[in-house]
Amino acid sequence: MKGSGKLPLDTVDIASGPIFIATMLWEAKILRERNQREFGDLDSWTGEQLSDPTDPPDPLVPVGYDTTDTRASLLMLLGNVTVNALLAPVFAKTTSTLYERRFFTIKNPVASWVTAFIAWDFIYYWSHRWQHERRLLWANHVTHHSSERYNLSTALRQPWQSYLTFFSYLPMPLLGFPPNQIAKASQLNLLYQYWIHTEVIDKLPPTAEAVLNTPSHHRVHHGANPHYIDKNYAGVFIVWDKLFGSFEPEHRRVKYGLTTNLDTHNPFQIAYHETTDIVRDVVQRRGWRTKLRSVLGRTGWDPDGSVT
């Protein structure tokens, strides 16, 4: 299938499964040989403690793997692949139709491919940011943040409601990027993000840290520390965060997960708990403006005027 969703299973897709398994086993072995934090060690810390800018920075001490947590992440990946396969024809048809009505044609294939890769990453930054900032979109993305651990299996904890965010990439075919290039840019971008979900790697050389999204930068993104929330949205290039004011370096030890964590490993609850909460709020809250804001308003908005 061609489109901004997925390509047909190609060599990269076929190879990725064994590579995921091999690298997770490798990472788990390395982490077992290192000193690890006690799970939940930061649960009693106050917001001030979690955000206190100590100097020097906290050393990286991994949380490690948990079999039940990893199983949940793999089940989320299975559901993600299944849902996307069902939606693929719709996504492909939409992208192809828009490409037929494109405003431009980029004749140089190299320039087209390079620009498509950068454009997809730029749009990913904003799509990712909107998913944190707007509740309906957060209902999709919250899945990925639901693990209280951070390892390569966390990268595979993918959402099941991609139809909520597909619209973000619709400008690309209109601007002249062929559907196959859009799909390949998406594939490579998301594969890049797999390896940065690790506590095996501390910091990369300064030049890489300045330009690229790295494990250090992305650990911050998965943090529930007050000053880490809604930071470092980048896919490949961290420069977007630096340009648009959402960059935060890793300094304090990261408390992974949500501000209010889920007490479940049930994949359906992980996938749809926020959607269920939205439906409940729409039913229970009074006034159409309040109901609408409960769906489309800022993530964490409450009718009393607070944002949690």
pLDDT, tens only, 12-26: 878 899 999 999 999
User: For position 307, what pLDDT does the model report?
Assistant: 65
User: For position 12, what pLDDT does the model report?
Assistant: 82
User: For position 10, what pLDDT does the model report?
Assistant: 76
CB 235 within 8 A of CB 125: yes
CB 116 within 8 A of CB 185: yes
pLDDT in tens, 90-140: 999 999 999 999 999 999 999 999 999 999 999 999 999 999 999 999 999
Say whether the peptide bond before residue 56 is cis (omega within 30 degrees of 0).
yes
What φ, ψ does residue 212 adopt, rounded to 5°? -100, 155
CB 222 within 8 A of CB 154: yes
- The residue behind tokens 């390395």 is 30
User: For position 73, what pLDDT does the model report?
Assistant: 98
| 200 class by beta-carbon count within 10 Å (0-12 exposed, 13-18 middle, 19+ buried) | middle
Which residue positions in the chain have pLDDT lower than 70?
1-9, 306-308
User: For position 2, what pLDDT does the model report?
Assistant: 34
Nearest CA-CA partner of 121 in 181, 186, 166, 179: 186
Nearest CA-CA partner of 147 in 45, 258, 259: 258
Alpha helices of 166-228 — where are they, by DSSP H? Answer: 171-174, 179-195, 206-211, 215-221
Sequence-distant (6+) residues with CB within 8 A of 268 are none
Alpha helices of 33-105 — where are they, by DSSP H? Answer: 47-51, 67-100
CB 244 within 8 A of CB 236: no
